[in-house]
Chain A
Amino acid sequence: MSEAFLEQLYPKLGFIVMQRADSGEFVLLTKAPGWFADAAATAAAGGPATLGSTLPFLEHLRTEADRFWWSGEDGVMSGEPFAVPGAAEEYLVRPRVVTVEGRKLLLLENLTGSADSRAILQAARDARLEHERAALRARDVRAPIDSIAQLASQLLDADLPPGAREAAQGVMRAVGSARAVLDRMVDPSRGPT
């Protein structure tokens, strides 16, 4: 396959391909798509405009990838996804470090919007956060309720006239109801009792 063909193919697959130059800088081999140019421009705001210095994750990759590249063997190393700030949105890229016929290549795959894993994770954590807050609020309310229950229990242990005993028993029933409500706040799966 010709280089010209690959230059057209990689962007269509969502990849940016860069080669590590002897100077240590990354040189773009494919035309940078809009999102990458956007991220680079955002990162470069107020700073020098080499790729490694404007996008710090590239600088890190150069260090990590060098360990692989200097082994001298052809192959592929996949890295953790990196979040890259852009002007309008944040981009998620997965790096792949490749050595082909001695050429040290870095492939960046744009994962932004390719899966809804972010939305799922966000929803799960939002729900978890809400649950944690409900549990903390329930704990705040449970403390005074426990004190009321203790007092009512002490009253019931005493020699009470019938009317007062009924009242204390009513307090204990109310305490039980309040505790059930709190339990459902913390764990809605318990359902109504």
Chain B
Amino acid sequence: MIQKKVCLLGGFAVGKTSLVSRFVRSIFSDKYLTTVGVKIDKKLMAVDGHDVTLVLWDLYGQDEFQSIQETQLRGTAAYLLVVDGTRPATLETAHDLQQRTERIVGTVPFMVVLNKSDLAAEWRLDDSAVATSFARSAGVVRASAKTGDGVEAAFVTLTRAMLAR
């Protein structure tokens, strides 16, 4: 059995916890409850004939109140950078986190998830520009933890990128 540690990183209120809830438990809540401490979940996946257990580290949002610690990133095989598609400021946070994470864990695979795709009328990101700015990512996908669109695909693509290494 292959087991891989995957961290979810991003600014506050971008939907990291909601993405994990949707992916692991198929549930979603509209209520925003900020994460305090680190949440660890597991999900067994079958990708391209491999059984892979993803150990998902849902880290609290990065901002002036809380900052990601090096010890939390240790041993990370891949990470999801989560951006709120309705809040451009969260893209800057994602860029900062990506650079910081790469300094700590090296060039492991990562995906960029543009979350809240259900809020199409409030969307404020140019997806192709985001993809260009994260050229080394395994992919940039729109997703919605609320509807579930794109969530499974993001984790599958990331797992595939891990297995390909």
Residues of A within 8 A of B (CB): 56-57, 59-60, 63-64, 79-83, 85, 92-93, 117-118, 121-122, 124-126, 128-129, 132, 136
Which of B33, B65, B71, B124 interacts with A136 by CB under 8 Å?
B124
Could you say which of A93, A125, A128, A129 has the most chain B C-beta atoms within 10 Å of its C-beta? A125
Query: Looking at chain A's contact residues, is the secondary structure mostly helix, strand, loop, or mixed?
Result: helix
How many A-B pairs fall under 8 Å by CB?
A: 61
Q: CA A63 – CA B3 in complex, angstroms? A: 13
Q: Is B26 part of the binding interface, using a Cβ–Cβ cutoff of 8 Å?
A: no
Q: CA A143 – CA B160 in complex, angstroms? A: 43
Number of chain B interface residues as a range: 20 to 34
Contact B41 A56 (CB under 8 A): yes
**B34 neighbours in A (Cβ, 8 Å):** 118, 121-122, 125
A-B contacts, 8 of them at CB < 8 A, read A56-B40, A56-B42, A60-B55, A64-B71, A79-B71, A82-B39, A83-B38, A128-B63
Query: Looking at chain B's contact residues, is the secondary structure mostly helix, strand, loop, or mixed?
Result: loop
Residues of B within 8 A of A (CB): 12-13, 32-42, 55, 61, 63, 65-66, 69, 71-72, 75, 86-87, 89, 124
Q: A59-B55, A79-B71 are in contact. List 19 more A-B contacts (CB 8 A).
A: A56-B40, A57-B38, A60-B40, A64-B71, A80-B38, A81-B37, A82-B37, A82-B38, A93-B37, A118-B34, A118-B36, A121-B34, A122-B34, A124-B65, A125-B63, A125-B65, A128-B63, A132-B89, A136-B86
